[in-house]
Structure 1
Amino acid sequence: MGEENTSIEQAIQLIYSLISLSHSIRVFAGKWQSIRDRLEELLSSLTAIENCDDSIDKNPSLVSTLKAIFDVLKGCDDLARRCLRLSYSGKLLMQSDLDIVCTRLSNYTKSLADIYTLGLLTQNYAIVLSRPNLGASKDDMKIYVKDLLSRLKIGSSDMKRQALISFNEVIQEDDRHIKIAVEIESFISLLVNFLDSDENGIQEEAAKAVSFIAGFEAYKGVLIGAGIIAPLVRILESGSGNLSKEFAVRCLQKLTENSDNAWSVSAHGGVTELLKICSNNGHCSGELVVLSCGVLKNLVRVEEIKKFMVEEGAISVFIKLIKSRDGGVAVPLSQISSIDFLLTMASGDETTRQIIVKEGGVRALVRLLDPKLSFPSKAREMGLKAIMSFCLSSVDTFNMMLNYGFLDHIMYFLHYGEVSVQELALKAAFWLCGTSEEAKKAMGDAGFMPELIKFLDYSKSSDVCEMASEALYSMISVPKNRKRFVQNDQNVGFLLQMLDQSEMNNSSGSKKFLLSILMSLTSCNSARKKIANSGYLKKIENLAESDNSDAKKIIRRLSSNRFRNIFNGLWHS
């Protein structure tokens, strides 16, 4: 090492000494805090210079700057010791001297930054200060973050990228570093500025940092105040890589949880850019599409923005996404997110629901239930939820669903589906029974009743049994279905058997519907005979005696019929 290089080491050692000494000074505390901050910035800059492979003695500008810095540091050391001993001649003069030192330290830090900016030094390898351990003091963390800040300000592109990587690692390990970064002037603004960097690595790491910071409610306002929305939208428009865009969209999703920020995203063209991502599904990563759906879902809650989305063709974009079949894990996720978005968009809005139906939304959703196609149960569940929302008691949409094979799909899963899919199909059947008489008739013709009976088995959950019982009761209220049900000799006997088991299992919910079904069936002569001649009549009589109103009605029906038969027999004898 040459003499000049030794001066850097001496300057660094002197700065460490001054920082330590300054903590012991009890006078002019505010002045010394400012000087300490400037010393820490200068320390980071000098440490960075040590990592440059250029010979310092070949750089006259740096040689002269280092000499001047060392002189200022020695003068500062003298002031520190005088303050410590209280051996200064006057307060005003000492305050003036401290202000001068603080200003000169700032100027020399800027001079070093200018030397980097002009490309007068090249970096060999970036060595940052050792990362503070978990539980480190605030002062240690602050020195580390300020060291990173200096590298972000004066370092080469590679050094800046490495500093951002280090920052991302440390804030994810200990989020107290975020609070320190927020408290340091210009740190967050610098991160936001890096979002517009032409260097892919720098932009990506900066986007990753702000995305993580945005996850903390306390710091969202700081990011907004630093003007983060516009550069995030610019990344979506012309960002250099998918990862940068993904981090940018993650950040927007967190920030738009507050509807006040939604306006800012819309004002900067964010809605249009997000819709472009969703419409270019094949050219964007599945994760990016899913995240974009999440941001748009936040934005659509603002009525004026929702109207703009409709005008921009958002509904057709998301229906197209529901139809996608490019394969891979991301496709079902984008389908689920798209359905979720459309549900939010149509919530409480009949006009939007009608547009979704008109644009082909129902057909796309019914297609998700097609057993010949491979979709995860979650996508099918979301599709069914949307169908129940968009097709609420509309004859036209019900007929449309029939034409698309909706009943056939539901029947298939009731019969062949795995348990989770069977229950999903049962929910669909239950919903259909509550829509219209036409729906119940169509279900009877399609053979739903025998499938529903299977769900009355008490090995199923009580919720499943009750849902199946209520659906069956609703279907049997239609005379044509009731007649068809009774024609199968096993059906009435099975209901009576289930009624007996409901007593044993104390399942009052299912028992209520089973009795209601039996009550409805007593309007058929053949059903009355089967109940009266069964071995379960005594069970119904016991329930009637215990004041069960439905059981009493059944016994009354059976009794009145018996007396009518006796009377008819006497009349004709």
Structure 2
Amino acid sequence: MAAAEVNNSSDIELLKEVHGLCNNLLSTAALVQSFKGRWMVICARLQCISDIIESLMTSALLQQYYLRLKLSMSQILVSLEEGNELAQKSINMNYGGKLLMQSNLDAFVTKLDLYLRDLEVVKGGIRQHERAIAIAKTTTAGDHNCNPTSQMSSRKDIIWDFFTKLRIGSTEVKKTTLEALIKYMRDDEKAALAVGVDGDLPRLIHLLDCNSQPVREKAVHAISILAVIDELKRSLVADNAHLPLIRVLESGSLFAKEKAVFTLLELTSMSENAHAVASCGGIPLLVKLCEHGTPCATVSAAGTLRNLAMNEHIRRSLYDEGAVEVLISQVTSGSCEAQEQAVEALQYLALGKDDKIRTAIGRHGGIQCLLMYLREASSTKSQEMAIRVLSNLALSATNAKALMAAGFLSQLTELLKVGSPTVQKAAAAGICSLSSYIDLKRQVGEAGCIAPLTQMLEAKDTSEQEIAAQTLSTLLLVNSNRKEFCKEENGIARLVQLLDPRNQSIAKRFPMSALLALSGSSTYRKRILSAGARPHLEKLAEMNVAGAKKTLEKLGGRKLLGIFSRHNLW
């Protein structure tokens, strides 16, 4: 068949006119404030059309395919002019009825989809022709695949072929194409990112609602591979992947549910994605799957609930949907992986100002099962998580008393003595939570934790030193605890060392509060001053560190105040 010549004065100008009008409509659509969802879809289609036309105009093979394009170009031109009118009406809020405008916009999207399909067929023919020429040149001129540019072009061609088949192929073609796409992404670690960047994510997401179960399963499998990549998490949710994924949780096959909930686990690692999933009805389905799903799905569901619980504004919704009871059940009888995810989820649920959630965790048996989990924990990480969630629960007075009665304090004291540094730090924080209650301070001190806390003041990690000082500052408000502390050799000296202004990594308020608690006794005051507290406090006072002046007053009396007055330090 003879190739049709492209008339540079008319035909190419038609392509350029369509391309220009397409870009102009994109700019106009960006100003529309009504029907935003529909205009976002329209803009996505327009951008695809613009990109394809631009690539066609630069192709050396355009003249051989132009006859197939010419009719489409004329139709697209007319439709783009209609689209511009719709955009202006939307901007001016002059569309003669909301339902009518919605119908017109939907019809416009349908037209764009048809044009896009025609353009993709033409582009596919050109790509295949170009690739055949490239292969022929490779055969005659030697292998040039080592060229990075050639490899990049080849990868884009492969991805484009995948998505062309997913757009226009039969159900069976879509299924086999998805299988090939999954293998392609698995075999090449860079391929998945390239698919996410150069592929048509909305088309892949659309297949999650396909009538064919095998296609749905392959689509959710493919998306689960993409969701692992951090650079694609935001894009997938921006393209509303979470909506059909949530529907899969409700009505998909067991395999599809496992892949869908794993995908949501990955996506919700970003806070904004977690809010999107929670606001679209995902919580009750996740709770149900956590309770009744397969072992694999249960782990992913518990992990997704943990990701949601990290967001303070979602915690009450999790509580309202029964997440607390289900998570406690997983801690009690779930697999090791499910237990770990559930404990961490409960840790976040017990945070914040909502005492109702903390009380509910205790009421539903959370304290007993978490204490058991702590006793049986075989790893440092498990011990830390259990201590943290129990410490958060202790922020409720009711829970704190229940924890004391259940032996939590004795466990903390033991771990404070023999645990790893990170476990000791967590244990000190737990003791600090319990000692915040006036009626428990004496009991906490009598449990034998003051000596190991004093030792912790010399830990290598400054964060360990700080939590030890903070805990002691609350315990030393009780006289019996002060006596116990002062029995420790160098205990006061260790607190004084933390006041050194050169050590800026430790908050000074905690050692100062502890020393203030000791300053009521003249004997303790002398020991504090003998340990060198005065020069540190003087320097801190000069630096206007809160509490330094008050501590000096308590330690030095009127004489010290007179010295500072003469030097105009205050």
- Show the 5 A alignment for 1:448-527: 448-457=449-458, 459-486=459-486, 488=487, 491=488, 493-498=489-494, 506-507=502-503, 517=514, 520-521=517-518, 523=520, 527=523
- Show the 5 A alignment for 1:60-459: 134-136=151-153, 140=157, 144-145=161-162, 148-149=165-166, 152-153=169-170, 155=172, 159-165=176-182, 168=185, 173=191, 175=193, 177-178=195-196, 181-182=199-200, 187-188=203-204, 191-194=207-210, 196-198=212-214, 202=218, 205-208=221-224, 211=227, 215-218=232-235, 220-223=237-240, 228-229=244-245, 231-234=247-250, 237-240=252-255, 243-250=258-265, 253=268, 257-258=272-273, 261-262=276-277, 265-266=280-281, 270-280=282-292, 283-285=295-297, 287-294=299-306, 297=309, 301=313, 306-307=316-317, 310=319, 312-324=321-333, 326-327=335-336, 330-340=337-347, 342-343=349-350, 347-370=352-375, 373-392=376-395, 394=397, 396-433=398-435, 435-457=436-458, 459=459
User: Which stretch of the first structure deviates more once superposed, 144-153 or 400-409?
Assistant: 144-153
- Show the 5 A alignment for 1:16-55: 27-29=10-12
Question: CA offset at residue 391 of structure 1?
Answer: 3.0
Q: 1:278 to 1:219 in 2, by over 3 A?
A: closer
Q: 1:409 to 1:22 in 2, by over 3 A?
A: farther
Q: 1:440 to 1:557 in 2, by over 3 A?
A: farther
Question: CA offset at residue 468 of structure 1?
Answer: 2.2
Question: CA offset at residue 452 of structure 1?
Answer: 1.6
Distance in structure 1 (CA, Å) of the matches to 2:538 and 2:306 = 58
Distance in structure 2 (CA, Å) of the matches to 1:264 and 1:535 = 56
8 Å Cα contact 1:256-1:262 kept in structure 2: no
Counterpart AA for 2:450: M
8 Å Cα contact 1:384-1:428 kept in structure 2: yes
User: Which stretch of the first structure deviates more once superposed, 276-285 or 315-324?
Assistant: 276-285
Question: CA offset at residue 278 of structure 1?
Answer: 1.0
Q: 1:246 to 1:523 in 2, by over 3 A?
A: closer
Counterpart AA for 1:136: S
Q: 1:223 to 1:147 in 2, by over 3 A?
A: same
8 Å Cα contact 1:200-1:240 kept in structure 2: no
Counterpart AA for 2:254: G
2:51 aligns with none
Counterpart AA for 2:394: C
8 Å Cα contact 1:369-1:383 kept in structure 2: yes
Distance in structure 1 (CA, Å) of the matches to 2:211 and 2:226 = 9
8 Å Cα contact 1:456-1:498 kept in structure 2: yes
8 Å Cα contact 1:482-1:521 kept in structure 2: yes
Q: Name stretches of at least 5 consecutive residues in structure 2 with no aligned partner.
A: 17-61, 76-113, 122-144, 542-547, 561-570
Distance in structure 1 (CA, Å) of the matches to 2:245 and 2:558 = 72
Which string of whole-angstrom CA distances, capped at 9 and with x for unpartnered residues, describes residues 475-499 of structure 1?
Answer: 222123234445x3xx3x5135436
Q: 1:367 to 1:542 in 2, by over 3 A?
A: same
Measured on the aligned residues, the alpha-carbon RMSD in Å equals: 5.3
Distance in structure 1 (CA, Å) of the matches to 2:511 and 2:212 = 68
Question: CA offset at residue 552 of structure 1?
Answer: 5.9
Which string of whole-angstrom CA distances, capped at 9 and with x for unpartnered residues, describes residues 524-559 of structure 1?
Answer: 57x46xx76x79749567779988754564455999
Question: CA offset at residue 412 of structure 1?
Answer: 0.6
Question: CA offset at residue 379 of structure 1?
Answer: 3.8
Distance in structure 2 (CA, Å) of the matches to 1:430 and 1:256 = 30
Distance in structure 1 (CA, Å) of the matches to 2:512 and 2:274 = 51
Distance in structure 1 (CA, Å) of the matches to 2:74 and 2:266 = 45
Distance in structure 1 (CA, Å) of the matches to 2:479 and 2:7 = 95
Distance in structure 2 (CA, Å) of the matches to 1:449 and 1:419 = 17
Question: CA offset at residue 422 of structure 1?
Answer: 1.0
Counterpart AA for 2:11: F
Question: CA offset at residue 284 of structure 1?
Answer: 3.6
Q: Name stretches of at least 5 consecutive residues in structure 1 with no aligned partner.
A: 1-13, 34-78, 85-90, 97-101, 110-129, 560-573
Q: 1:238 to 1:358 in 2, by over 3 A?
A: same
Q: 1:198 to 1:416 in 2, by over 3 A?
A: same
Distance in structure 1 (CA, Å) of the matches to 2:433 and 2:295 = 38
8 Å Cα contact 2:289-2:297 kept in structure 1: no
Distance in structure 1 (CA, Å) of the matches to 2:166 and 2:277 = 31
Distance in structure 1 (CA, Å) of the matches to 2:528 and 2:14 = 99
8 Å Cα contact 2:6-2:12 kept in structure 1: no
Distance in structure 2 (CA, Å) of the matches to 1:166 and 1:95 = 40
8 Å Cα contact 1:456-1:469 kept in structure 2: yes
Which string of whole-angstrom CA distances, capped at 9 and with x for unpartnered residues, describes residues 107-146 of structure 1?
Answer: xx9xxxxxxxxxxxxxxxxxxxx99954318984675345
8 Å Cα contact 1:253-1:291 kept in structure 2: no
Counterpart AA for 2:248: L
8 Å Cα contact 1:255-1:261 kept in structure 2: no
| Secondary structure of 1:477's aligned partner | coil
Q: 1:282 to 1:31 in 2, by over 3 A?
A: same
Query: Which has the higher Rg, Structure 1 or Structure 2?
Result: 1
8 Å Cα contact 1:294-1:341 kept in structure 2: yes
User: Which stretch of the first structure deviates more once superposed, 409-418 or 209-218?
Assistant: 209-218
Distance in structure 1 (CA, Å) of the matches to 2:379 and 2:507 = 31
Return the TM-score normalized by structure 1: 0.59
1:9 aligns with none
Which string of whole-angstrom CA distances, capped at 9 and with x for unpartnered residues, describes residues 4-35 of structure 1?
Answer: xxxxxxxxxx8xx97xx8889774359889xx
Question: CA offset at residue 449 of structure 1?
Answer: 1.6
Question: CA offset at residue 159 of structure 1?
Answer: 3.0
8 Å Cα contact 1:414-1:422 kept in structure 2: yes
Distance in structure 2 (CA, Å) of the matches to 1:350 and 1:302 = 15
| Secondary structure of 1:446's aligned partner | coil
Question: CA offset at residue 364 of structure 1?
Answer: 3.2
8 Å Cα contact 1:368-1:375 kept in structure 2: no
